[in-house]
A and B are shown apart, each in its own frame.
Chain A
């Protein structure tokens, strides 16, 4: 997957992959990623290549996309914050 280490990805996602699962998932993810990489850039968008030096220091950071307000108001629990468990992803939510 563009040089991506699936074990590192699994660690970021809070998953542990057994060897058989890893062998099955890795080629599938490569194929899916290739499929999705065909999305055309929209004029004005900056293109950043994987492994770009400018991003090397942030490698492994995952910026979570969701407006927390929207998430909080749709939690399956009326007390909201109670079930915002500590995330297995690094807490770098820009919102």
Chain B
């Protein structure tokens, strides 16, 4: 098997006394769509946030294309990497947040072009051209000059996806991308994500949309209390859950 695109080894994370992640071994292959499900507080979002070092792990490693993220080994001792190198690693993973986190003082186009100009050092004209291309891809070519406050939640999340896509990432991490949306706006975001999955984008998605998970995921991971309890292809996981905890988690849905 190839080196996984993303891999965690014995990843643990604690906040004060609270252990949120407990020795997670997790990997994602290139082109794979992995959906993480589990009750709230099970550590799903924290796992995602550790992958691009928005949270520094308390223990264990995160590897991107086989290279340590955020850390370096010096005489067998882990040290934090300088900010510059961490920034270069971070732009390889796109991140889409539950509450979009669009930059409210910038138009849709500038939200997408900002990092292209600042991080990729792209000339303005080229950055705008790319921004327009990706906003078109998420169906928002008529909203280029709109500010986030004038967009619906679904539109804002699609701008956020375009913003992540524009950086040409190796993978995109989705942290409950539809949880903050009105029910009638969920569909338009899922359509964009489904198209991305079909185009071969590597995706790690934390979601409560079980229907979407069944349809799009190559693999579903069930987490509870900071551990991975069960994982596998969606049909076996949803139709033949092995563990009691997954069974009771799925029961209300059937």
A and B found bound together = no
Chain B residues with a Cβ under 8 A of chain A: none
Q: Which residues of A contact B (CB under 8 A)?
A: none
